[in-house]
């Protein structure tokens, strides 16, 4: 078979591909760094021809007209597994063009296949090689599963999308249509940690042993943790998201992946998001495997790594150990993502630790993030029966197996000093202490 000829037969213009979308179509798109700009930039142009079109997405990196304009209520809806700033903005404006899909990352895609099998999967791919293979490049959270199950598969082939290793390969014979669309991959700049975040990170670094395998999230606290690991040896990575901070630790010989009990010698992740420097590092790197989210984030897979440590951040923790990381009361902010997946997996690991990190105050120090009870309407991201370690700038509370009374006392002790007396009074009223 001449794969170049097959590719040419399947090659469409963007306008012709958009013309394949019909009313009530269910479309799933690839996520974050790999979101298909051609489709999402232009979908709103079909408004006079279609209605009831749903787009399932995750962490949109840009504001797209089809969900940022209330005139498209009823025409398009962006149903998201994880809110980003643009989607949050549309939701807070009251637009009916966005909605959240509750999920744990490891089964987000497969659950969606049960309830809303897609008519179209529209993704992004690296250019085809001489054997007819493209790759899904920087994200395989659910993308490979959608390629295998959607009624129609359309890929925007982007010359700037790096070729990657793992389970990202897609053969031209598996694809219905391709579009050639060159655009810059979205970047996420490195966030420098604040002094408070550095204090939190110092406590977390005390919990990480030589030879540990880490799941590190993104943001100031995880970045600060990475900077404090330079006295560690032979760390490994099994993480939902490959981040910039891992490169420097690898280049300094701190991350070697050599003592991992699962996939030794390999970085294991399910998507990558960062800067051009990071994308260059990931490109055609056989030491980085981007595997399916339903595998990477399966708690029972994660637990096979001995000394597995997950580091996640939270918005609020109550005195019984309930964690909310995705909302402020009824105001939806982000999503569960892989937090519960990785926390459970690490807690089940031999010698593992599930760490929830948070600053003790918000709104410029006017409110405590450790509260007697979660605010009304708050979703529970990590249930209290799963809680392990909670870390703030004031210390570490190891809550696993403790009674409610013991938990409340331990959490008050790592709350901000300005709020400890009030927390004790409220805890006493609630018969927690």
Active-site annotation, residues: 240
> How far is CA 132 from its chain centroid?
30
Helix (H, G, I), strand (E, B) or coil at 11: strand
Pairing of strands 367-368, 361-362: antiparallel
Q: How far apart are CA 216 and CA 234, in angstroms?
A: 16
Backbone dihedral angles phi then psi of residue 170, each to the nearest 5 degrees: -130, 125
The residue count of the chain comes to 433
Which residues partner with 55 through β-bridges? 27, 78
- For the record, the structure tokens of 293 come out as 């989210």
Q: How far apart are CA 340 and CA 326, in angstroms?
A: 12
Phi-psi region of 41 (alpha: psi -120 to 50; beta: other; left: phi over 0): alpha
Contact yes or no for 357/290 (Cβ under 8 A): no
Q: What is the DSSP string of 119-150?
A: SEEEEEEPPP-TTSEEE-TTB-SSHHHHHHH-
Residues contacting residue 302 through CB under 8 Å, at least 6 positions apart = 215, 238, 296, 308, 310, 341, 342, 344, 345, 346, 348, 349
Residues contacting residue 128 through CB under 8 Å, at least 6 positions apart = 3, 4, 7, 134, 157, 172
Q: How far apart are CA 143 and CA 155, in angstroms?
A: 11
Contact yes or no for 142/112 (Cβ under 8 A): yes
């Amino acid at each position: 078979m001449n794969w170049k000829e097959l590719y040419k037969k399947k090659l469409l213009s963007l306008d012709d591909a958009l013309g394949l979308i019909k009313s009530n179509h269910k479309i799933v798109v690839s996520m974050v760094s790999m979101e298909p700009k051609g489709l999402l930039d232009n979908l709103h142009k079909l408004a006079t021809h279609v209605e009831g079109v749903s787009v399932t997405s995750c962490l949109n990196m840009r504001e797209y007209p089809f969900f940022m304009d209330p005139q498209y209520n009823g025409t398009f809806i962006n149903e998201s597994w994880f809110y980003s700033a643009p989607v949050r903005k549309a939701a807070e404006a009251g637009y009916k063009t966005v909605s959240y899909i509750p999920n744990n990352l490891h089964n987000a895609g497969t659950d969606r296949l049960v309830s809303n099998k897609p008519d179209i999967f529209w993704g992004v791919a690296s250019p085809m090689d001489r054997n007819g293979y493209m790759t899904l490049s920087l994200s395989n959270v659910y993308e490979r599963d959608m390629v295998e199950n959607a009624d129609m598969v359309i890929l925007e082939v982007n010359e700037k999308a790096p070729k990657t290793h793992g389970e990202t390969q897609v053969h031209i014979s598996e694809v219905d249509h391709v579009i050639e669309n060159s655009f810059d991959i979205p970047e996420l700049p490195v966030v420098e940690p604040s002094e408070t975040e550095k204090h939190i990170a110092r406590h977390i670094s005390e919990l990480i042993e030589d030879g540990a395998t880490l799941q590190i999230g993104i943001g100031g606290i995880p970045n600060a943790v990475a900077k404090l690991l330079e006295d560690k040896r032979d760390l490994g990575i099994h993480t939902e998201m490959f981040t910039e901070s891992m490169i420097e630790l690898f280049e300094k010989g701190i991350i070697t992946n050599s003592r991992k009990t699962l996939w030794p010698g390999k970085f294991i992740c399910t998507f990558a998001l960062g800067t051009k420097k990071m994308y260059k590092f990931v490109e055609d790197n056989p030491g980085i495997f981007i595997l399916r989210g339903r595998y990477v984030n399966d708690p029972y897979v994660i637990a096979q790594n001995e000394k597995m440590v997950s580091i996640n951040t939270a918005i609020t923790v109550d005195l019984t150990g309930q964690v909310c990381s995705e909302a402020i009361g009824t105001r939806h902010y982000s999503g569960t993502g892989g937090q519960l997946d990785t926390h459970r997996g690490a807690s089940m690991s031999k010698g593992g630790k599930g760490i929830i990190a948070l600053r003790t105050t918000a709104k410029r120090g006017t409110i405590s993030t450790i509260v007697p009870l979660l605010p009304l309407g708050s979703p529970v991201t990590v249930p209290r029966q799963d809680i392990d370690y909670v870390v703030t700038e004031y210390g570490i509370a190891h809550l696993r197996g403790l009674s409610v009374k013991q938990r409340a006392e331990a959490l008050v002790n790592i709350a901000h000093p300005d709020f400890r007396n009030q927390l004790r009074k409220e805890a006493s009223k609630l018969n927690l202490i």
